[in-house]
Amino acid sequence: MSESYEYLFKFLVIGSAGTGKSSLLNNFIGNKFKEDRCHTIGVEFGSKIVNIGGKSTKLQIWDTAGQERFRSVTRSYYRGAAGALLVYDITSRDSFNALANWLRDARTLASPNIVILLVGNKKDMEEAREVTFTEASQFAQENELMFLETSAKTGENVEEAFLKCSKTILAKIETGELDPERIGSGIQYGTGTSKRLAAPKKPARTPSDCACHV
């Protein structure tokens, strides 16, 4: 059971109750979609090794309970997460309105460098949509989040969501913005790394990111 991986990231899945957090996780780790799942009590874990830019990276995903009554307990798990999926339900205006609260919690409790991706779930239920793509992406932009609409039922964009978030974390590691060896970063070196011997990597740059030097 000890597959080798280079990095291990701690991931959170947060958001209001009934937005499909557990379904997203289950879809991602390869379980079948269930129409009437029980709500989550406490935390459920999932993990998966993905390949990001040639690096095998293991995600340790903490799927938290969305119910308000468990909020105080789930908040205690935010610390030291490297990434988070902040989930709302595109068919529920309330779940969208609650985002600001969730985001505030995540930003204050998790590490300041946490990479958050906004997920509008239940994309398959277009006819019941209450939150438009535009307003959600505007919210994402204002709060410096990445954004995707997904469907845990059809599997659309589910993997992309996790991958996109992981890629950003990895990029931050490579630019030195995140130090995996710093405790509380939510990142561990895995079994497959010989960390201190790793050759300096050239950060991948987009042309727009070029810097001028004195």
Partner 1 sequence: MIKFWKSAAKGKTGCPVRPPELKSTSTPDIKSLINTQLLLEENEDPKHMFDKNSKLTLSLCDILNEKKAIKYFVQYMESIGKEVLIKCWLEIEDFKIQTQYQDSSNENGNYSKINRTKSLDLHCKCVSKKDYKDVNTQRFSWQDNSELFTSTSNTRHKNECSMSSCRNLSEHLTSNSSNTSKENVKTGNYTEEAIKIFKKYVALEAPFQLDLPDSNRKSVISNICQPEGKITEDCFQPVQDILFSQIEKNYFNDFVNSPFYIKAQIDILTSGSLNLKDILHNETILFYFTEFLEQESCRVLLEFLMGVMHFRDNLLNNSSSQDPAQAQADAIAIYEKYFSLQATHPIGFPTDIRLTIESDICREEGPLPTCFDMPYRIVFKTLALYVKTFLESELYFKYLSEMIHSVENIWSTSHHKSHSDCSSEFSISTQNTLLAMGDPVFRKKKRNLSVPDMTIDSNQLYNADALWQRNRSDGLSLGRVNSLGRFESKFEPDPDKKGKSVLKKMVSRFVPTSTSKVEEEMAWQIAHMIVKDVTDLTMAPPDNEHEDM
- 75: exposed, middle or buried (Cβ count in 10 Å: 0-12, 13-18, 19+): middle
> For the window 52-91, what string marks contact with partner 1 as x by the rule CB under 8 A?
--------x----x---xx--xx-xxxxx-----------
Whether the CB-CB separation of 86 and 147 falls below 8 Å is answered with no
8 near partner 1 (CB under 8 A): yes
- CB atoms < 10 A from the CB of 146, how many? 19
Single-letter code of the amino acid located at 169: I
15 near partner 1 (CB under 8 A): no
30 near partner 1 (CB under 8 A): no
197 near partner 1 (CB under 8 A): no
Shortest Cβ distance from residue 19 to partner 1 (Å)? 17
Q: Give the single-character DSSP code of 196.
A: G
18 near partner 1 (CB under 8 A): no
Single-letter code of the amino acid located at 100: A
Whether the CB-CB separation of 60 and 47 falls below 8 Å is answered with yes
Question: Residue 130 or 179: which CB sits closer to partner 1?
Answer: 179
For the chain, the distance separating the N- and C-terminal CA atoms, rounded to the nearest angstrom, is 51
> For the window 150-189, what string marks contact with partner 1 as x by the rule CB under 8 A?
------------------------x-x--x-xxxx-x-xx
User: Residue 166 phi/psi, 5° resolution?
Assistant: -65, -40
Residues at the site binding partner 1, with contacts judged by CB under 8 A: 1-2, 8, 10, 38-45, 47, 60, 65, 69-70, 73-74, 76-80, 174, 176, 179, 181-184, 186, 188-189, 200-203, 205, 207-214
